[in-house]
Structure 1
Amino acid sequence: MTVRVQTEDFDLSREVAALRAMNPKIGAVACFVGTVRDLNDGSTVETMELEHYPGMTEKSLEGIVEAARARWPGIEVLIVHRVGKLYPLDQIVLVATTAAHRGDAFASCEFVMDYLKTDAPFWKKEKTEQGERWVDARVSDDAALARWGMSSTNTKSDA
């Protein structure tokens, strides 16, 4: 398991190569890369700033990796999540999973990402032409998590 929270950007190819390195049991790799959009809720986004609690955040991410491994034995998981000030088109998060077969790789990657969107302890603040605003998780993210038989511990907005 690899979980990193960092300010610097990541290289997708290098990260996946390291995850796959010298493991002949891997038959599939599934990846998700989240990026900063230039538009959210009808406003142009100039920057997004992500905050976290060091130590607590990593522990939380490790917990979801353990939950994913319990559901899909034999998978490997990589989570790289950036914090700090980011701009439109910047990469925010990488979730990559490996498995013997594609179904487990896809499902486990989606499971990890659904958790990240609902319960990971990150706080996002956008700067728009109207000023700064905190970004809440969405009710639709709860629905995505619910299909795994889980519910969020965070309060959501309807936006």
Structure 2
Amino acid sequence: MLFMGEDEEKDKCEICETYRYKEGSKKIALKRMRYFPLKPRLQKLFMSSKTASLMKWHAEERPDDGTFRHPADPQACKEFDKQSPSFASDVRNVRLGLAADGFNPYGRMSVAHSTWPVVLIVYNLPPWLCMKQCFLFISVLIDCPKGPGNKIDVYL
């Protein structure tokens, strides 16, 4: 449960009855999520004429010979195009891939804490750019004592 808007003052989850804060006098959240807005970063891709033209590479210049060269080449991406023809018809629509994995920021495995960055990859760009650091966007940073596990969908 996200404690935002009308739920901002609540101290307990309505679904699982878990408390929001650690026990004690200070209000320290058990789990935290930091969200980094995506819209301004996507707008910057279209502000430059060079990157704006490269955002159409996947549709206009990508070879379609059955060889896997790009993250958007697998059958799953082609199947998505068949299921969503209105989305696939406009080459300027932004295609994103999502990757998430946890790590221990303190470097010791004995410390019970994990941080989970959720990274978005722009599939519109050519393969020599889509995996460059400047085009990988951290969208969400999940900070909690233990990983989100199967409940990562709540954060997404």
Higher strand share: 1
Larger radius of gyration: 2
TM-score normalised by the chain length of structure 2: 0.25
Task: Select the structure with the greater relative contact order (CA < 8 A; seq sep ≥ 6).
Answer: 1
TM-score normalised by the chain length of structure 1: 0.25
